[in-house]
Amino acid sequence: EKGGYDWFMRKEIYEQPKAVADTLLGRHGADGQLKLDEIRISESELRAIDKIVIIACGTASYAGLVAKYAIEHWTRVPCEVELASEFRYRDPIVGPTTLVVAISQSGETADTLMAIRHAREQKAKVLAICNTNGSTIPRESDAVIYTHAGPEIGVASTKGFLTQLVACYLLGLYLAQVRGTRFGDEIGSLAAELDKMPAAISAVLADADQVQALAAEFVDAPSVLFLGRHVGYPVALEGALKLKELAYIHAEGFAAGELKHGPIALVEDQLPVFVVVPPQGRDLLHEKVVSNIMEIRARGARTIVLAEQGDTSVAPYADVMISLPKVSTLLQPILAIVPLQIFACELATRKGHDVDQPRNLAKSVTVE
């Protein structure tokens, strides 16, 4: 059942092109219009929404952080992301014109379930993004967008995360379409770009050897940092979470702009630091991340840079360059996370850990 792989996690990493393709299937037509027929919230209700609140835990919450950037940009509707475990304990402001989006692979996470129950008591509309048909969270929501990742057996989420990102992008573009925002004409081209993601993920997977070599090189590192900005920031958080939960080593993700506000004090000789660099089109952001890389390198860090293919401006400051296919900035997380998943999986297996069942963790967390 592991399809020739030694670990479910490895199999699931390699299934990601198909999982993403399956999640996109049938959701937009040749006319460029998105169809999310399963959203049982009327277009007039979707037009009346004045706030979006995304609630989720762990990896799913990082998909939510990416979604915030995309949804606000495309729809201009204010969007917050909150950890489900915090949400109902702070008297959150939600009501009938709030769209609450609950993201959960398993559909059984107790923290997320309790948060949506609270939101519905306040009369908010709840839309679930979920991978498990008929599970509790979609049953208790007003509507659901299913991701079609197939069963995720490995405790650490991989294909679940990528398909959550895809569902979030589809939702954002659909809301933009329904509400007729200024990005209306871009919807078709972004949907077409999403269609190219499975091939782009395959291209990243084809370079796994380079990442495996890195895992061998850093197998004894006591700590690893991950930096990113904009949508690269949640990627950094997710890269760090994967390494913590699988390899049991200290790892942290930071917003690169926060470095000088504290974390740079951690940088010392030989510390491995992964940096997600935005595509070159975003000049200012790109330039700022490149200067962050220069700063940490000057303090002895080993810089492992994930950047767009052909990005020569960052190459001189990279000890290792991991090239990503060219893609719009907002969609880059779909590609940038893949080498970080492979790194965590390879490093953990080298240490002899069970990557399908990391210690102390359960696949679905059904207690608060």
Catalytic residue positions, numbered = 363
Q: Which run of H or E residues covers position 219?
A: none
Q: How far is the CB of 76 from ligand F6R (least distance, A)?
A: 28
Facing residues of 77 across strands? Answer: none
Report which residue type is found at 130: C
Which is closer to ligand F6R, CB of 159 or CB of 179? Answer: 159
Distance of CA 303 to the CA centre of its chain: 22
Report which residue type is found at 269: D
Residues that bind ligand F6R (CB under 6 A): 57-60, 104-106, 109, 112, 156-157, 241, 245, 364-365
Burial of 59 (0-12, 13-18, 19+ CB in 10 A): buried
Which is closer to ligand F6R, CB of 59 or CB of 329? Answer: 59
**243 Cβ contact partners less than 8 Å away, ≥ 6 residues apart:** 224, 249, 251, 340, 343, 344, 347
Helices (runs of H) and strands (runs of E) counted in the chain? 14, 10
Full DSSP string of 298-314: HTTPEEEEEEETT-TTT
DSSP state, residue 28:
B
DSSP state, residue 323:
E
Give the Cα separation of 340 and 103 in Å (integer).
21
Q: How far is the CB of 75 from ligand F6R (least distance, A)?
A: 24
Give the Cα separation of 162 and 22 in Å (integer).
12
Residue nearest to ligand F6R (CB): 58
Q: How far is the CB of 230 from ligand F6R (least distance, A)?
A: 22
Which is closer to ligand F6R, CB of 159 or CB of 302? Answer: 159
Distances (CA, A) of 323 to 71, 205, 219, 284, 320: 27, 11, 22, 20, 10
Full DSSP string of 188-203: HHHHHHHHTHHHHHHH
Which is closer to ligand F6R, CB of 59 or CB of 141? Answer: 59
Report which residue type is found at 334: I
Give the Cα separation of 156 and 126 in Å (integer).
26
Burial of 168 (0-12, 13-18, 19+ CB in 10 A): buried
Q: How far is the CB of 263 from ligand F6R (least distance, A)?
A: 22
